[in-house]
Amino acid sequence: MATAGSIESTERRQGAGGKGSAESAHAASERPIAQADGRRIVSLAGLSQAASAYLSEDDVRRVREAYRFSDSSHLGQFRTSGEPYISHPIAVAEICVGWRLDADALMAALLHDVMEDSGVTKQEMVERFGTQVADLVDGLSKLDKIEFASREQAQAESFRKMLLAMARDVRVILIKLADRLHNMRTLGAVDRVKQRRVAAETLEIYAPIANRLGLNELYRELLDLAFQFQHPYRHRTLKKAMASARGMRREGLGKTIEAVQKSLRKMGVQADVLAREKALWAIYSKMQDKNLSFSQVMDVFGIRLLVDDLAACYLSLGALHQTYKPIPGRFKDYIAIPKVNGYQSLHTTVVGPYGTPVEFQIRTREMHQLAESGVAAHWLYKAEEETFTDLQKRTHQWLKSLLDIQHQTGDSLEFIEHVKVDLFPDAVYVFTPKGQIRALPRGATTIDFAYSVHTDVGNHSVSAKVNGQPVPLRTELQNGDVIEVITEPDARANPDWIGFVRTGKARSEIRHFLRTMKYEESVELGKRLLEQSLATLLIDSATLATSALEKAARDAGARSLEELYADMGLGRKLAPVVARTIALDMSARPTAAFAVRPMPIVIHGTESTAVQCSPCCLPLPGDAVVGHIRGGHGLIVHREECESGRRQRQRDAERWIDIEWAEDIQGQFRTVIEVQTRELRGTLARVAAEIAASEANIVNVSMEGEPDQFAILRFTLQVHSRQHLARVFRQLRKLQVVTRITRL
Closest C-alpha to 166, from 126, 187, 138: 138
C-alpha distances (whole Å) from 532 to each of 349, 399, 462, 662, 714 are 73, 50, 36, 16, 40
The secondary structure of 453-490 as a DSSP string is H-HHHHHTEEEEEETTEEE-TTPBP-TT-BEEEEE-TT
Non-local CB neighbours of 595 within 8 Å, separated by 6+ positions: none
* Residues whose CB is less than 8 angstroms from the CB of residue 687 and which lie 6 or more positions away in sequence, other chains included: 675, 677, 713, 715, 732, 735, 737, 738
Active-site residue, 117 included: yes
Q: Which of 94, 116, 169, 563 is catalytic?
A: 116
Contact of 639 with 580, CB cutoff 8 Å: no
DSSP string for residues in 55-99: S-HHHHHHHHHHHHHHHHHTTTEE-TTSSBTTHHHHHHHHHHHHT
Residue 587 CB: number of other CB atoms within 10 A? 6
Q: How many whole angstroms separate alpha carbon 310 and alpha carbon 466?
A: 33
Alpha helical stretches, state H, 74-189:
87-98, 103-111, 114-118, 122-129, 131-140, 151-168, 171-185
User: For 503, which DSSP code?
Assistant: S
Task: Let me know how many helices (H) and strands (E) the chain has, helices first.
Answer: 29, 23
User: Partners of 714 in the beta sheet?
Assistant: 674, 702
729: which strand partners? none
Coil, helix or strand at residue 659: strand
Assign residue 358 a region: left if phi > 0, alpha if psi is -120 to 50, beta otherwise? beta
Q: Is 540 a catalytic residue?
A: no
The H or E element spanning position 626 is: strand 625-630
Write the secondary structure of 265-331 as one string of H (helix), E (strand) and C (coil). Answer: HHHCCCEEEEEEECCHHHHHHHHHHHCCCHHHCCCCEEEEEEECCHHHHHHHHHHHHHHCCECCCCC
Pseudo-torsion of CA 91, 97, 102, 104, nearest 10°?
Answer: 10
Buried b (16+ CB within 10 A) or exposed e, 274-297: eeeebebbbbbebbeeeeeebeeb
Work out whether the CA dihedral 659, 664, 670, 674 comes out positive or negative: positive
Helix 87-98 with 103-111: angle, nearest 10 deg: 160
Amino acid found at 53: A
CA gap 271, 661 in Å, rounded: 77
- Dihedral through CA 453, CA 459, CA 464, CA 467, nearest 10? 10
> Which secondary structure element, helix H or strand E, spans residue 221, and what is its range?
helix 216-230
Burial class from Cβ neighbours inside 10 Å (0-12, 13-18, 19+) for residue 635 reads buried
* 8, 11, 102, 117: the active-site residue: 117
440 residue type, one letter: L
Rounded distance, CA 499 to CA 744, Å?
Answer: 26
Which three-class secondary structure state does DSSP give residue 672? strand
| DSSP structural state of residue 433 | T
Residues designated as active site: 116-117
